[in-house]
Structure 1
Amino acid sequence: MMANDLFVVIGVPFEQTLELQRQVLATFAFGMIFAEGRLRGLRPPEVHALVIACLTDVFRYSDQQAVSFSTNLISAASSHSRTPRRPARSFILGSMGIANGSKRRQMN
């Protein structure tokens, strides 16, 4: 999967990445999956399933986190608005259930 190669490209093994780095890379991977899905004429549920699989398999998020994160990413990508509704950092952290000042989830 191309998403695995993102860690090679940045030169940092998955285990050494910070949560925010993983979130940014996961968002980039989502963009690749979303674009490929559009090119291949995949239906939205098929793209959603692929994104969830990527988030759980490559980025090691729980099923619940992957569903929440992917739903928010798809919603943002499908929006007809040209201006983001909230800053990217807030969007990513909010979709992962990380509030300001709260502890970050530990990756296993």
Structure 2
Amino acid sequence: MFWKKKPDLAKVRAEQTKMAAGLLSAARLQFPQLSRLHQALVGTFLFGMLHADGAIRGLEPAQIHALALIVFAETFDYSSELNAQAVQECINATSPGYHDTMNAVIHRGIDGHRQYCQGQLSTLGENLRSILAHFEGGA
């Protein structure tokens, strides 16, 4: 075969949207009630989880990013403009030196993906909540 088998992105989308809901549930968060800073931190953490999931599945970066746009829209109910801006900032933050704090939160999200896949939901929730607590106001 001269071509690579295409992944079922609709299935991946459904699984990633479920993972996003699982993250919010594990951390006991109501996203609309969070401050903008905490919303940005949750989105950055989730991007790390989505990035890890896509990499494990062997998805291309463009596929990972497209799925992140969809999952963010479905999970956070962002406007199209805010959604695109949030995902682009996360993409940029994967480059070391662009935004060290966001990069660190993305890496915590990568670890959160492992916690989610291993069913360590209370640990996953604590992981995210500890990040939020680090910033002014807690969660």
TM normalised by structure 2 equals 0.54
Residues 1:67 and 2:80 aligned together: no
Instruction: Show the counterpart of 2:109.
Output: none
Amino acid in the other structure paired with 2:20: A
Using CA pairs under 8 Å that are at least 6 residues apart, name the structure with larger relative contact order, 1 or 2.
2
1:46 to 1:88, Cα distance in 2 relative to 1, 3 A: same
Aligned structure 1 segments of 4 or more residues deviating by more than 6 angstroms: none
Asked whether the 8 Å contact 2:93–2:99 carries over to 1, the reply is no
Structure 2: distance between partners of 1:34 and 1:87: 17
- Give identity over the alignment, percent: 31
Instruction: Show the counterpart of 2:134.
Output: none
**Ranges in structure 1 where 5+ consecutive residues have no aligned partner:** 90-108
Instruction: Show the counterpart of 2:53.
Output: 36
Larger helix share, 1 or 2: 2
Match of 1:14 among 31, 54, 66: 31
1:11 to 1:65, Cα distance in 2 relative to 1, 3 A: same
Structure 2: distance between partners of 1:15 and 1:62: 13
Number of residue pairs matched by the alignment: 85
User: Aligned Cα RMSD in Å?
Assistant: 1.8
Larger Rg computed on CA atoms? 2
Structure 2: distance between partners of 1:12 and 1:37: 24
Instruction: Show the counterpart of 1:88.
Output: 101
TM normalised by structure 1 equals 0.67
Tell me which moved more, 1-10 or 13-22.
13-22
Residues 1:49 and 2:57 aligned together: no
**Ranges in structure 2 where 5+ consecutive residues have no aligned partner:** 1-17, 103-139
